[in-house]
Chains A and B, each alone.
Chain A
Amino acid sequence: MTPESKTKSNDATERAKAFHQSDLMDDTELRVKIDESLASAVALFFATSLFWLLLGSIFGLIASYKMHWPDWLGEYAVLTFGRIRPAHLNTVAYGWVSLAGAGALLWMTSRLTRIPIKWGWMLFISVLLWNIGVAYGTGAIIFGYSRGMEWLEFPRIAGFIIALGFVFFALPILKTFIHRKVNHIYVSLWYILASVVWFPLLYLTANFGHYQGVVEAGMNWWYGHNLLTVWVTPIGLAMAYYFLPKVIGRPIYSYYLSLLGFWSFALFYNWNGIHHLIGGPLPTWLVTVSIVASVMMVIPVLAVAVNHHMTTFKHFHMLKFSPTLRFTVFGAMAYTAVSLQGSGMALRSINEITHFTHYTVGHAHLGVYAFSTMILFGGIYYIMPRLSKWEWPYPSLVKWHFWLTAIGVIIYVVALTIGGWYQGLDMNNPDKDFMESVLNTIPYLYLRSLGGTMMVVGHLIFIYHFALMVKRAGPRRFAPPWFKKPEEESAV
């Protein structure tokens, strides 16, 4: 039986009707029109993002194995750690998260503005340029032409190709927004608009190149952290604010709080980058300002956490029914965890232990995988059936995908958090050899490879399932995304 929350639903629906005013004549028809207006483009964004997910996670896995088998594949220059590891970072950041996130943002923009996407043809140019940029940049890293700055390893030309691709992605969003049929800007749309305006500024400034020495390091981490601020996190939060209430069927617990969360997020988050350089040669005041802002992030994070938790509260049983909800709730919980952990790591007393250890790597994966990637998976599970008009054929594969990736990333993060903490204590202990601090991490590194392998197997299952869906292979299922019930279909 389909679970239903009954209290106040009639009253709430009436309020929703009143709010949409004249746009309610045929909601299903409108939804079909919206989905058709961007089906091919968004499916392309998703499909190509999955290619980068697979390639990026294989790079990541090779790098992880090399941490405990240092000589493995060491005879090939292109497969050495110094190339594979940045290739992993860049393909998952600019390939997987960015392309999948862009697809999801486009779909949500159209839904939230209640009109089919405008200038949809630009999206094909965008996806093409974006992929060319990522392919060129990844090739450059693998063949030894990296710029040598974390998050900015792609050659400048690849950066500009991606930036151009972003312009062709942003313009349809802005045009659609201008012509929106809903006056109110839903909280997800605030996050989307912020990322669309701020990301190009950030990316072009970072790739401009007139920096040297300490200023370059400062710019590097201003950029590195702000990539999360204005791109990765807004994608995840916009999706969580849309999918949690939508799937459960109840509005956000406190809409006031969600907007307060957005504006405090916009105010504090972009100052955080310099906490990556605690102990570095930057002016102390600059680092301190960044630490203060990092701690201030507790305000928007708690606003989001309270809202997400209270929206889902008393509806946790629905996790049994919805793949989107499973992935999104997992991601939302990870967001709270990673953000509070990040505020803690910005404190000097904690940072002096965790800096330069595997702890930071665990933190990064708690953010970009457990939070961002899991929410993206959940979003794709929701969006794709509506675009392709074909439900996911095998629910069991979805379960395998969820449990492999969820358990995999938990093993990964827990192992590196514990191992990294001890590594930091060992490194700070003058009575211990440096090599001792390295050797002590090896059991944790094996665990990390185990978690990573499970995640990659999960990706393979997901990609196989995605391919089946696109080919319309496997059993045909009639789940809610279908506009006609089976009996209605047979009657036609």
Chain B
Amino acid sequence: MNLPLAALLVVLVAVIAASIALAAFYWAVRRKQFSIRDLNEGAYTIFDNDEPVGKPQDVMFDDSRKQNKKQ
């Protein structure tokens, strides 16, 4: 009869998964991931000098039209 082992396993996995989530949350709070400064600035992580805010990327179709006109 495998039922008790299965139940134990599922509960164990649930506890491990929840613990990982809680630990990650606790760690993140301690490391000030959710401090006001980080939350205000965090959204800018994906931008930099060469790909700044206000500069669209991946302008494929516009580019092709410009090139065709040049030709």
Q: Are B34 and A259 in contact (CB under 8 A)?
A: yes
- Given A198-B17, A212-B6, answer yes or no on A16-B53 (Cβ-Cβ < 8 Å): yes
Give the docked Cα–Cα distance between A27 and B50 (Å). Answer: 6
Residues of A within 8 A of B46 (CB): 111-112, 186, 242, 245-246, 251
Residues of B within 8 A of A323 (CB): 58, 60-61
Chain B proximity of A449: nearest CB distance (Å): 31
Chain A proximity of B32: nearest CB distance (Å): 9
Q: Are B9 and A381 in contact (CB under 8 A)?
A: no
Q: Are A215 and B61 in contact (CB under 8 A)?
A: no
Chain B CB within 8 A of A147 CB: no
Residues of A within 8 A of B26 (CB): none
Residues of B within 8 A of A480 (CB): 57-59, 63
Chain B CB within 8 A of A17 CB: yes
Return the CB mask of A184-216 against B: 1 if under 8 Å, else 0. 111100000110011001000100101110010
Return the CB mask of B5-23 against A: 1 if under 8 Å, else 0. 1110110010011001100
Q: Which residues of A467-488 have CB atoms within 8 Å of chain B's CB atoms?
A: 477-481
- Given A24-B48, A27-B48, A112-B46, answer yes or no on A15-B41 (Cβ-Cβ < 8 Å): yes
Q: Which residues of A377-418 have CB atoms within 8 Å of chain B's CB atoms?
A: 381-382, 391-392, 395, 398-399
Give the docked Cα–Cα distance between A20 and B56 (Å). Answer: 20
Give the docked Cα–Cα distance between A184 and B32 (Å). Answer: 9
Chain B CB within 8 A of A1 CB: yes
Q: Are B60 and A322 in contact (CB under 8 A)?
A: yes
- Given A13-B52, A24-B49, A28-B50, answer yes or no on A215-B44 (Cβ-Cβ < 8 Å): no
Return the CB mask of A240-256 against B: 1 if under 8 Å, else 0. 00100111111110011
Residues of A within 8 A of B67 (CB): 477-478
Q: Are B54 and A13 in contact (CB under 8 A)?
A: yes
Give the docked Cα–Cα distance between A324 and B20 (Å). Answer: 34
Q: Are A186 and B42 in contact (CB under 8 A)?
A: yes
Q: Are A19 and B13 in contact (CB under 8 A)?
A: no
Chain B proximity of A482: nearest CB distance (Å): 10
Q: Are A184 and B59 in contact (CB under 8 A)?
A: no
In which size bucket is the chain A interface?
35 or more
**Interface SS of chain B:** helix
Q: Are A246 and B17 in contact (CB under 8 A)?
A: no
- Given A24-B49, A184-B45, A259-B34, answer yes or no on A321-B6 (Cβ-Cβ < 8 Å): no
Residues of B within 8 A of A399 (CB): 61
- Given A201-B16, A323-B60, A395-B64, answer yes or no on A15-B49 (Cβ-Cβ < 8 Å): no
Chain B CB within 8 A of A314 CB: no
Chain B CB within 8 A of A149 CB: no
Residues of B within 8 A of A259 (CB): 34, 39
Give the docked Cα–Cα distance between A10 and B13 (Å). Answer: 49
Give the docked Cα–Cα distance between A222 and B9 (Å). Answer: 13
Q: Are B21 and A266 in contact (CB under 8 A)?
A: yes
Give the docked Cα–Cα distance between A469 and B52 (Å). Answer: 27
Chain A proximity of B11: nearest CB distance (Å): 11
- Given A198-B17, A247-B58, A479-B59, answer yes or no on A12-B42 (Cβ-Cβ < 8 Å): no
B17, B44, B60, B62: the one contacting A201 at CB < 8 Å is: B17
- Given A9-B52, A480-B63, answer yes or no on A249-B45 (Cβ-Cβ < 8 Å): no
Chain B CB within 8 A of A361 CB: no
Q: Are B57 and A246 in contact (CB under 8 A)?
A: yes
Chain B proximity of A389: nearest CB distance (Å): 15
Chain A CB within 8 A of B30 CB: no
Residues of A within 8 A of B62 (CB): 1-3, 320-321
Supply 10 A–B pairs (Cβ within 8 Å), ascending by A: A5-B56, A12-B44, A12-B47, A185-B33, A197-B20, A222-B10, A246-B46, A246-B47, A251-B44, A382-B58
A215-B6, A249-B55, A381-B60 given. 13 additional CB < 8 A pairs? A9-B52, A15-B44, A16-B52, A24-B49, A193-B24, A201-B17, A249-B57, A250-B54, A322-B57, A323-B58, A478-B63, A479-B60, A480-B63
